[in-house]
Structure 1
Amino acid sequence: MNVLNAEDLALAERFVRLNARLIDRHRFALHFRGGSAAPVLAALRPYENPDGGYGHGLEPDLRGEHSQPVPAQHALEFLHEAGADDDPAVGRVCDYLSTITTGDGGVPFVLPSVREAPHAPWWRTPDDPPGGINPTATLAGLLHRAGADHPWLGPATGFCWRHLEAAGADPGPYDALAILTFLDHVPDRDRAEAAFARHRGALAAPVALDPAAPGAQHFPLDFAPAPGGFGRRLFTDEVIDAHLDALVASRPDDGGWTVPFLIWTPATGPEWRGHVTVERLRALRAYGRLKP
């Protein structure tokens, strides 16, 4: 069984200090050095806009100032990590989402304002984008986890249930991840269990089970970064163990993990690697593979 030790963690810390954004440096300190949550929250604030949404590169591949839906989900994740589910910023996110939600309760993946600033080439949208299960399901799931009580959440939850009940094409990897987040946290647990049982095969279909699969793949640990949750139930113990071994073995000598997708401008390389390094270390610790 491959594990990381205290020396490995120190090397990862050096990588983060050399390369990562301030917010990810504070996240590393919070998770692995007993740091305070306050610096994480302080580092998050400059990404927030007056409308309650987030921009300014919080999603590294969106370099613009304008609020977009996906950065809002990053903000909710960071708030939760910092133990700040009751922070007023959570309500402000809901207020922002209410202004961009389509008539059926869904949130578009990306808004036309993306065109006004540099962005990765895959962030494209029509002039009047429809609501999508990604990111609506992720946002709804994270807000249910936070215990949010806001008018936005009811219609968004209904949008997600209708999507899951409708016949249609199998989800791609990002849609599947969004659905799993929703099912993990939506309050109606019996309905969530039934939906998971119905869609289990489709949710697992986008995952590459071979740890050596080339290209921009999605692997089991992307769907199951911790032992709990529906994502973990998609894979056997043997599959998870193989991918944990591969994850430990795949770390470059500089201490930080790489990413399998396109780095389209120089800044996003270290930004994504710093973020992903924190995430990989969190997953390894969750599975008992980090032994400092």
Structure 2
Amino acid sequence: MKLTSSQFKKARDFIYANGRLLDRRRFEFHFEQGSAEAVLNALRPYQNEDGGYGSALEPDMRTPYSQPIATEYALSIMDEIGSWDLAMLNGIVNYLKNSLREEGGFPRATVDVNDYPHAPWWNTDKDHSGSINPTGRILGLLYKQEVLPGLEEENWFARSAQFVWKSIPHACKSDYHDLIQCITFLENVPDRKRAEQEWNRVDGWLQQPGTIELDPEAKGYVHKVLEWVPAPGSYAKKWISDKDIKRHLEYLIREQQEDGGWNMSFDALSPGNESEWRSLITVDRLVTLRSYGCLDSHGQ
């Protein structure tokens, strides 16, 4: 089962009609020979003078001020397109140094998120402590990039890495967001011997019933197979059968909406927020379908 040419065109039109410039550039990069530089240029305005990212780069946080989660997302975009911008990275490092908490790591959100429209799950009473989400993935992606070497030797980075090592055993054992943080960190951290010890723990969590939602038709805010394995080489694939992946790919194709986009699994903050999220998600879905060979030749 594949997404047909007409379905692909509807998805394309949905993105161009509703998406942020960033997600239109992402689509162009993946499917219309767009450049990585064009994606970076669309990402650049979200970076603040302190080097962090805000201005609703994470669509559920409408604050213009820098947030650790938004900064993590900026790193993930650079990783997605395989292009790491030195000036952007230098700014991010400056922001992270100044955001470091006493015990290491960065908070899930800072309290100024409350001063602007935001989704209720981002309500933040205190921000004095670090959180594995997003510290683990921030460090994992910084380990992965190669244009700014030697970061792991800096004090702020080493303290944050120790924070992550200490936090992994206490991560929420069935929470997608915490486990993705652990996985990205462990995939990229140089200490492979120590990482192998923690993989056993993470693998145990991944095998717990309900952690990876195997029912493609499950409703609500659940994290299904293709969120854990958006591409064939994803780490969690070892715990998911080819049969289950096929079922979820077929369901994903069926779930494309009449307007060409895919829906969110959580409540939108506003109509504009819904358009942003659905366009972002639609790009992600098309990238996943292509990675599994589920687009016809037009989308290849």
Q: Which residue of 2 aligns with 1:214?
A: 219
Q: Where in structure 1 are there 5+ consecutive unaligned residues?
A: none
Q: Which moved more, 1:170-179 or 1:275-284?
A: 170-179
Residues 120-139 of structure 1 mapped to structure 2, 5 A cutoff: 120-139=119-138
Residues 66-215 of structure 1 mapped to structure 2, 5 A cutoff: 66-147=65-146, 148=148, 149-150=150-151, 151=154, 152-164=156-168, 166=169, 170-205=173-208, 206-215=211-220
Partner Cα separation in structure 2 for residue 137 and residue 231 of structure 1: 17
The one-letter code of the counterpart of 1:290 is: L
Deviation at 1:32, TM superposition (A): 0.6
Q: Which residue of 1 aligns with 2:19?
A: 20
Deviation at 1:237, TM superposition (A): 1.6
Q: TM-score, normalised by structure 2?
A: 0.91
Deviation at 1:55, TM superposition (A): 0.5
Taking structure 1 as reference, are residues 6 and 87 closer, same or farther at Cα in structure 2, changes over 3 Å only?
A: farther
Partner Cα separation in structure 2 for residue 34 and residue 225 of structure 1: 21
Taking structure 1 as reference, are residues 35 and 168 closer, same or farther at Cα in structure 2, changes over 3 Å only?
A: closer
Deviations 1:118-163, CA, capped at 9 Å, x for gaps: 1111102223442111111111111111134322332222221222
Partner Cα separation in structure 1 for residue 69 and residue 207 of structure 2: 23
Taking structure 1 as reference, are residues 4 and 189 closer, same or farther at Cα in structure 2, changes over 3 Å only?
A: farther
The one-letter code of the counterpart of 1:156 is: S
Stretches (4+) displaced over 4 A: none
Partner Cα separation in structure 1 for residue 264 and residue 170 of structure 2: 34
Q: Which residue of 2 aligns with 1:223?
A: 228
Taking structure 1 as reference, are residues 33 and 124 closer, same or farther at Cα in structure 2, changes over 3 Å only?
A: same
Equivalent pair of 1:97/1:107 in contact (CA under 8 Å) = yes
Q: Which residue of 2 aligns with 1:35?
A: 34
Deviation at 1:209, TM superposition (A): 1.0
> Quick check: which one's helix share is greater?
2
The one-letter code of the counterpart of 1:46 is: P
Deviation at 1:279, TM superposition (A): 0.6
Q: Is 1:254 matched up with 2:253?
A: no
Taking structure 1 as reference, are residues 194 and 57 closer, same or farther at Cα in structure 2, changes over 3 Å only?
A: same
Q: Which moved more, 1:35-44 or 1:52-61?
A: 35-44
Q: Percent identity?
A: 39
Q: Which moved more, 1:36-45 or 1:198-207?
A: 198-207
Deviations 1:203-256, CA, capped at 9 Å, x for gaps: 354221101111111111111111113222231222212111111111112211
Partner Cα separation in structure 2 for residue 37 and residue 85 of structure 1: 9
Deviations 1:59-98, CA, capped at 9 Å, x for gaps: 0001111100010011112222333224221121121011
Q: Which moved more, 1:281-290 or 1:193-202?
A: 193-202
Q: Where in structure 2 are there 5+ consecutive unaligned residues?
A: none
Partner Cα separation in structure 2 for residue 163 and residue 234 of structure 1: 23
Say what the alpha-carbon RMSD is for the aligned residues: 1.7
What SS class does the counterpart of residue 140 from structure 1 fall into?
A: helix
